[in-house]
Amino acid sequence: MVSVIDLPDNYTFGNNPLETYDIHTVVPIAANSWANRNGLVFNLPIGILRRVLIYVTPGCQNRVRTNLFQGTTQILPFTNLAPFAYNDFTEVDALGRLTLTSIAGLNITFTGMLATDTSYLYKDYATGSFDSWEVRADVKITAAVAGSRVHVLSFWNSIGPMAGAGSTSHLSAYLTYDGANYKIYLNYITAGGATVASSVNVALGTDYYLKLWHTAGSTVVHLDIYYGPDYATMFASFTITHAELATNYYRYFYPIQSYSGGAANAMSGYVKGLWLNSPSITYLTGEDYWFDTRENFFQYITASTNQFTINLWNIGAVSADVYYDHPFDYYLFVERVTVP
């Protein structure tokens, strides 16, 4: 029988005083980028990791980032990815190419989207919000004319359709048909307008489950493609590499984005079940930021899985990315589990 020494269920600063912490570190103002991050490797007690607290002083306007690894597995940001809803995005679609629904995440049907269109959805996460992230979606091409192209899961620092070499520092997957093969591409347009890309042939009318991900500071972006919604059986996996990818911190995320740099060739299909995680915690205002791990986020700690690594850094204030006005405190709390 396992007994648990429980932490209070009311997740407030007063009800979980700081003297109960298991790990505490102060992240200084100088930790103002991934390169200058405050990194820490440590062991936690055997039990269940339940709570994470970021504490900043009143008046702080920092935006803060954090990731946490148990061994080599990243557990913060949360492994249970957050779903999107219909109203999470700004829609630009004067021609009516897009139909949106929210069932188990955001579902987007695109119909007759041309490679000359201006149709897209985007969300503004503020400057520098993406460098470590993972996004997932189910995509399918249902009809396509040779030369058609639709971008999905795009990261960019501008607003508009994807326009080829003019869309510099643009990262995305895209669906296309070249007249012989249907393809899924992983594509990056460099700051100088050059293209770095990899692709795989796919079948018309077949669902493919994409996992596009990047680790902070890495020059590599990964696209893993799976056969099913459990993301268990892989169909294909490939990467692109470029030095710029290590320092491109994106502002805008597009679940779908038209390509405006081609001819009037149409594609139809869908992007379904869109999920995203990112370690960005934005606009801190002097409150205590608690992260409830919830029932499906309990991280069990045993004698062989008790080593953790954390990375913490400031990414600037709301009004200016070069302004780091406050240090902040970071705490971890473990629920003790004993086995009689």
Q: What is the pLDDT of residues 90-131, one digit of tens each?
A: 899 999 999 988 655 578 999 999 999 999 999 887 676 677
Specify the number of domains making up the chain.
2
Is 29 domain-assigned? yes
- Tell me: do 71 and 133 sit in the same domain: no
Question: How many angstroms separate the CA atoms of 221 and 207, rounded?
Answer: 22
Structural domain for 41, as ranges: 21-77+281-338
**Residue 53: inside a domain:** yes
Domain contains 51? yes
Measured distance CA(50)–CA(2) in Å, rounded: 17
Q: Is residue 5 part of a domain?
A: no
151 has a pLDDT exceeding 80: yes
State pLDDT tens for residues 8-36.
444 444 555 566 778 888 888 788 777 78
Do both 94 and 188 map to the same domain? yes
pLDDT category at 83 given cuts 50, 70, 90 is low
Q: What is the mean pLDDT of the chain?
A: 77
Same domain, 143 and 229: yes
Claim to verify: residue 191 and residue 332 sit in the same structural domain: no
What would the two tokens of residue 13 be?
């600063």
| Whether residue 271 sits in one domain with residue 179 | yes
Rounded Cα distance, 42 and 44, in Å: 7
> Could you tell me if 333 and 50 are in contact, meaning their C-beta atoms sit under 8 angstroms apart?
yes
Amino acid identity, position 165:
A
Do 252 and 104 lie in one domain? The reply is: yes
| 174 and 313 assigned to the same domain | no
315, 194: one domain = no
Lookup: tokens for 233: 């059986």
Query: Does residue 3 form part of some domain?
Result: no
pLDDT at position 170, please?
92
How many angstroms separate the CA atoms of 267 and 279, rounded? 34
Q: Calculate ∠ Cα 87-90-95, nearest 5°.
A: 110
